[in-house]
Amino acid sequence: MKKIEAIIKPFKLDDVKQALSDIGLQGMTITEVKGYGRQKGHKEIYRGAEYLVDFIPKIKIEIVVAADRLNEVVETIQKSANTGKIGDGKIFVMSLEEVIRVRTGETGVEAI
């Protein structure tokens, strides 16, 4: 099993969610996060004063999938989150040792 964490632009969330739904993905966790990478923030003007916004709002999507679906899900996220501009985000893939469904006690792929 694999855990995928994707950091994307907030306005791309609906596109990514729809694309993942179209390939039959059933669940995900969404978190509003802030951070920066190569973008290093941006400048804004408020009431005539210029200030630097260090942390840019992003969305973190967490998904757990069977290992055989990994490439399909990663490609779907990459295509649907891409704008071609700086700050499109990152996708992280981690191995997952175990998943347990609390309600039924199912484990492994059955718990996903």
Q: Is the pLDDT of residue 41 over 80?
A: no
What pLDDT is recorded for position 68?
Answer: 95
What pLDDT is recorded for position 39?
Answer: 66
CATH code for residues 2-111 = 3.30.70.120
**Residue 52: which pLDDT band, with cuts at 50, 70 and 90?**
confident
Q: Is the pLDDT of residue 51 over 80?
A: no
Selected residue with higher pLDDT from 87 and 30: 30
Closest residue by Cα to residue 8 from 86, 71, 81, 84: 81
Q: Is the pLDDT of residue 30 over 90?
A: yes
What pLDDT is recorded for position 43?
Answer: 67
Instruction: Please give the backbone phi and psi of residue 57, each rounded to the nearest 5 degrees, phi first.
Output: -65, 135
So where are the chain's domains?
2-111
